Copies of this chain bind each other. A is one copy, B any other.
Amino acid sequence: MEPLLLYPDPPAPELVQALDLGGYPWKAVTTPEAATRLEPEDGWAGAIVAADADPETAFALCRALRKRDIPLEPLLLLVHGGQLGDLDLRDDLFDDFCLVPVRQAELDARLKHLFWRTGRGTRPELIEYGPLVLNLETYQAAIASRPLDLTYMEYELLKFLASHPGKVFTRETLLSRVWGYDYYGGARTVDVHVRRLRAKLGEEHAALISTVRSVGYRFGETRWGF
């Protein structure tokens, strides 16, 4: 997940604690310019702007973030009770606000709701290993940014293997874990699916799945050490 943009820097300790507990990555900035300069490749996941200390700069930051070609969403504003009367609630300056001091549960709830509302919330769950990307939500796979057209079983097998990179699985284990505990069928089935996977991965990436003779198959490189 991309980080949340925080203002100011450093953010309030209880905010940091709430975000860390909630598992939200974040990066704090001191100026609107820094928000652009430090922006991640894929953009900010959203922004939390505390306007209780220095309202002027905070609102300027909000305006800047909203005026971009792609307005930053969602934007959560932190204010103290006395500021509520001054807020221009009929302007599109922020999506939601929260009173300071923030409570972990409320902040978490507002973020969840915001992400859902703005549609940016359900970040797809990904499995990534080197050039391989599996999108568990959309059931799509890609190798080196090239989409892979996998069948259901191919996808499931690759997903299982890629979930445990480096580990070797016997055919029997794969059959029971991927095909199902009650499955009874020939072990060669695994071979054939591995072959088709390698073919679809392409010659240069076929080695992602390696054969461990007399044992089974392994995805990815060996993890030496530990």
Interface of A toward B, CB cutoff 8 Å: 1-2, 42-43, 45, 81, 84-85, 87, 89-90, 92, 96-97, 99, 103, 105-106, 108-109, 112-113, 116, 119-124, 133, 135, 137-140, 142, 151-152, 163-164, 166-168, 212-215, 218, 222-226
Contacts and interface: CB of A to CB of B under 8 A. Distances in A.
Contact of A97 (B109, B121, B137): B109
A84 B108 contact: yes
8 contacts: A81-B103, A89-B116, A90-B120, A122-B167, A124-B226, A138-B167, A138-B222, A139-B212
Nearest to A113: B89
User: Which 8 residue pairs of A and B lie closest in terms of their CB atoms, listed nearest first?
Assistant: A152-B214, A89-B112, A84-B105, A89-B113, A90-B116, A138-B222, A84-B109, A138-B166
A167 B137 contact: yes
A223 B124 contact: yes
